[in-house]
Structure 1
């Protein structure tokens, strides 16, 4: 399976989860401590255009202002998130997206494969965050779980240094690979609201 196919495998359970979030769950806490469901959806919408642009090798800075300023009150937030995720998937579905270097919202060039791997991890980990907060149980294909684990393992220390991940949560080696992936990102796989 190609790198380009991994983004779609990561996105499908995320989209299903977003479609099943009820408006009264927007204030629910998530495992991502600084985000409730509303703010995490805002996060996906805020960074989505930059991730989409990265797949097309275009520099797309994030919108001006704080990511929490996006408005989800119009009732069409699920469709907006779904459409944005689908645009990111389309951009990263092209094999050329994974070649060379690209930008992720800023002027610094990064290896395209590294950014693509981050997109896969972002979709899966935040999909899990949203699912845990709203009582859902998405199921990711084992191939994309293994891929995401490998990508996160390569960058976890750097992610912690940048404040993207929290301190690693110890997860036994015999645990499912998805649980170990969550532990690398600073999440407790046993988290409940």
Structure 2
């Protein structure tokens, strides 16, 4: 598989993180069980784990089931998350990141699948944070195509990584279709 460009998705996530105000940290998100604070903590950890997966630096970062991690947002997240985004983008830009096998979330999987999951996580959670905090979230057409393809395949396989599908109109954009397949309502608005 050719390497995928994480640059646009990474830049979109970094922009959204920069726009999160302190008074928004306890707001709900489209990830129904998580507040903005908890979602930021999840993103903070997944950036490290998927960078390690790209580097084949197997160990605690790649072997920990994310559902078993406490979602505590440590101080310094505003500076740390953009640095981790940059490290993730660099790691997945290396052709060798996409070859062989690696681990993520305690599962061994083909490296190209780990890369798709990482891009999907960065893109969708960027959108989740943007919606919860009233910001814009834009990704390019190429990223949208990859995320839609991954969401379609995952939904067809009835994988448990997403919530139940959310119906979207027939004329929905490709990104909204991906959101629906990934269990998100493209029209979600914070209460």
Specify if TM > 0.5: yes
1:172 to 152, 165, 169: 169
| TM-score w.r.t. length of structure 2 | 0.89
Q: Give the match for residue 86 of structure 1.
A: 86
Answer with 170-179 or 15-24: which moved more.
170-179
| Post-superposition CA distance 1:64-114 (Å, at most 9, x none) | 995335343x3x2111111122211111110111112111142x4211111
Distance between the aligned counterparts of 2:117 and 2:130, measured in 1?
A: 19
After TM superposition, the structure 1 = structure 2 runs for residues 87-102 of structure 1, keeping only pairs within 5 Å, are 87-102=87-102
- The equivalent residue for 2:42 is 43
Contact kept in structure 1, 2:38 and 2:71, CA below 8 Å: no
Residue 190 (structure 1) aligned with residue 190 (structure 2) = no
Matched-pair contact (CA < 8 Å) for 2:40–2:73: no
Aligned length: 186
Computed over aligned residues only, the root mean square deviation of the Cα atoms, in angstroms, reads 2.0
Q: Deviations over 1:19-55 (max 9, x none)?
A: 1101111011101101110000000122222211110
Determine helix, strand or coil for the equivalent of 1:4. Answer: coil
Q: 1:144 and 1:46 mapped to 2: Cα distance?
A: 22
Identify if the C-alpha distance between structure 1 residues 101 and 155 changes in structure 2 by more than 3 Å, giving closer, same or farther. Answer: same
Q: Does 1:67 align with 2:69?
A: yes
The answer as to whether partners of 2:51 and 2:88 remain within 8 angstroms in 1 is yes
2: CA distance between counterparts of 1:85 and 1:110?
A: 22
TM-score by length of 1: 0.88
User: Per-residue deviation at 1:122?
Assistant: 0.5
Q: Summarize the Cα distance change of 1:154–1:161 in structure 2 as closer, same or farther, 3 Å threshold.
A: closer
**For 2:65 and 2:125, how far apart are their aligned partners in 1?**
23
Contact map agreement 1:59 1:105 (CA 8 A) in 2? no
Report the Cα distance in structure 2 between the residues aligned to 1:21 and 1:127, rounded to whole angstroms: 11
